[in-house]
Structure 1
Amino acid sequence: MKQIAKKALIALSLAVSLPVVAASYTIGTGSQSGTYYPLGGILAKIWSENIDDFDMRAEVTAASVENTIKVATNKQLVGIAQGNVVLQANEGTKPFPRKMDVAVLFALYPNAVQFMVPADSDIHSISDLKGKRISVGAPGSGTRVSSMNILNTLGVSESDIKPQSLNYTATTNALANGQIDAGVIVGSLGVGAITELALTRKIRILSFSADEMAKVMQANPSYQALEAPAETYKNVPTFTTPAVWNVLVVNKNMSEDMAYEMTKVAFDNMAKIRQVVGVTKYTTLENMNKLSGMALHPGSQKYLDEQMKK
Structure 2
Amino acid sequence: MNLVCIVCAGVLLLAGSAVAQEGGKAIPKIVISLGTATPGGGFPLYGNAFAEVMNAADPALSIAPRNTKGSNENIPLLEKGELDIGLVAGEPAYEAFMGIGRPATRIKILTAIYSSPGMFVVRADSSYRTISDLKGKPIAFGARGSGLPILSRYMLDGLGLKQDEDFQAVYLDRAGDGPAMVLDGRVAALWGAGIGWPGFKAVADSPGGARFIAPDADEIARIRARHSYLKPLTVPAGSYPNQTAPIPSVGSWSFVLVRENLPDDVAYHLARTLHGVEGAFCQKLAQACETTAANTVAAAPDIGLIHPGVLKYFREIGVVK
Q: TM-score, normalised by structure 1?
A: 0.84
Q: Which has the larger radius of gyration?
A: 1
Q: Which residue of 2 aligns with 1:220?
A: 227
Q: Which residue of 2 aligns with 1:131?
A: 136
Alignment deviations for residues 76-108 of structure 1 (CA, whole Å, 9 cap, x no partner): 1101122222111122224xx432222111212
SS of aligned partner of 2:62: strand
SS of aligned partner of 2:88: strand
Quick one: structure 1 residues 74 and 51, their matched pair in 2 at CA, closer, same or farther if it must change by over 3 Å?
Answer: farther
Is 1:39 the counterpart of 2:46? The answer is: yes
Q: Which residue of 2 aligns with 1:161?
A: 167
Unaligned stretches of 5+ residues in structure 1: 1-17
User: Higher helix share goes to which structure?
Assistant: 1
Cα RMSD of the aligned pairs, angstroms, is 2.4
Q: Which residue of 2 aligns with 1:251?
A: 259
Q: Which residue of 2 aligns with 1:291?
A: 299
Contact 2:89 2:253 in 1 (8 A): yes
Alignment deviations for residues 185-205 of structure 1 (CA, whole Å, 9 cap, x no partner): 12x312232222212133211
The structure 2 residue matched to 1:148, chosen from 132, 153, 159, is 153
Contact 2:18 2:31 in 1 (8 A): no
Quick one: structure 1 residues 100 and 229, their matched pair in 2 at CA, closer, same or farther if it must change by over 3 Å?
Answer: closer
- Aligned AA for 1:306? E
Question: Displacement, 1:31?
Answer: 3.6
Question: Displacement, 1:66?
Answer: 1.8
SS of aligned partner of 2:299: coil
How many corresponding residue pairs? 290
The structure 1 residue matched to 2:37, chosen from 12, 30, 33, is 30
- Aligned AA for 2:192? I
Question: Displacement, 1:135?
Answer: 0.8
Question: Displacement, 1:305?
Answer: 1.1
Unaligned stretches of 5+ residues in structure 2: 1-15, 20-28
Distance 1:19 1:112 in 2: 41
Deviates more, 1:154-163 or 1:97-106: 97-106
Question: Displacement, 1:258?
Answer: 1.4
Distance 1:199 1:45 in 2: 26
Is 1:189 the counterpart of 2:195? The answer is: yes
SS of aligned partner of 1:109: strand
Distance 2:127 2:169 in 1: 18
Alignment deviations for residues 38-92 of structure 1 (CA, whole Å, 9 cap, x no partner): 3222333444456676532111122222222211221111011222221111222
- Aligned AA for 1:104? I
Q: Which residue of 2 aligns with 1:56?
A: 63
Q: Which residue of 2 aligns with 1:85?
A: 92
Contact 1:127 1:156 in 2 (8 A): no
Q: TM-score, normalised by structure 2?
A: 0.81
Question: Displacement, 1:113?
Answer: 1.0
The structure 1 residue matched to 2:250, chosen from 242, 255, 261, is 242
Is 1:302 the counterpart of 2:309? The answer is: no
- Aligned AA for 1:191? W
Distance 2:214 2:192 in 1: 14
Distance 2:132 2:239 in 1: 24
Is 1:198 the counterpart of 2:208? The answer is: no
Q: Which residue of 1 aligns with 2:289?
A: 281
Contact 1:133 1:182 in 2 (8 A): yes
SS of aligned partner of 1:304: helix
